[in-house]
Copies of this chain bind each other. A is one copy, B any other.
Amino acid sequence: MIGVGVIGYGYWGPNLVRNFAQVNGGAVVAVCDANEKRLEVVEKLYPAVATYRTVDEMLADPAVDAVAIATPVSSHFPLAEAALLAGKHVFVEKPFTRTSAEGERLIELATDAGLTLMVDHTFIYTSAVRKIHELITTGQLGQLHYYDSVRVNLGLFQSDVSVMWDLAVHDLSIMDFLLGIDPITVAATGVAHVAGQPENMAYITCMFPDNLIAHFHVNWLAPVKVRQTLVCGSEKMVVFDDVDMSEKVKVYDKGVILDEDPREVYQKHVGYRTGDMWAPRLDNVEALALETQHFVDCIVDGTTPDSDGHAGLRVVRILEAAQESMTHNGLPVEVPKMRTVAR
- Contacts A193-B211, A330-B330, A332-B329: A276 and B281 contacting too (C-beta < 8 A)? yes
Provide the bound-state CA to CA distance between A254 and B199, in Å: 19
Contact of A330 among B152, B187, B201, B239 (CB under 8 A): B187
- Contacts A44-B45, A223-B239: A159 and B267 contacting too (C-beta < 8 A)? yes
The smallest beta-carbon distance between A285 and chain B, in angstroms, is: 14
**B-contact 0/1 string along A187-200, CB 8 Å cutoff:** 10101111011000
Which residues of A from 159 to 193 have beta carbons under 8 Å from B? 159, 185, 187, 189, 191-193
Closest to A270 in B: B157
| Contact between chains at A230 and B237 (CB < 8 Å) | no
| Contact between chains at A222 and B211 (CB < 8 Å) | no
A73 within 8 A of B: no
Provide the bound-state CA to CA distance between A82 and B296, in Å: 51
Instruction: Using C-beta atoms within 8 Å of the partner chain, give the interface range for chain A.
Output: 35 or more
Q: How many copies does the complex hold?
A: 4
Contact of A252 among B189, B203, B223, B268 (CB under 8 A): B223
| Contact between chains at A232 and B222 (CB < 8 Å) | yes
Provide the bound-state CA to CA distance between A321 and B228, in Å: 29
Residues of A at the B interface (CB closer than 8 Å) are: 44-45, 47, 145-146, 148, 150, 152, 154-157, 159, 185, 187, 189, 191-194, 196-197, 201, 203, 205, 207, 211, 213, 215, 217, 219, 221-225, 230, 232, 234, 237-239, 243, 245-247, 250, 252-254, 256, 258, 267-272, 274-281, 329-332
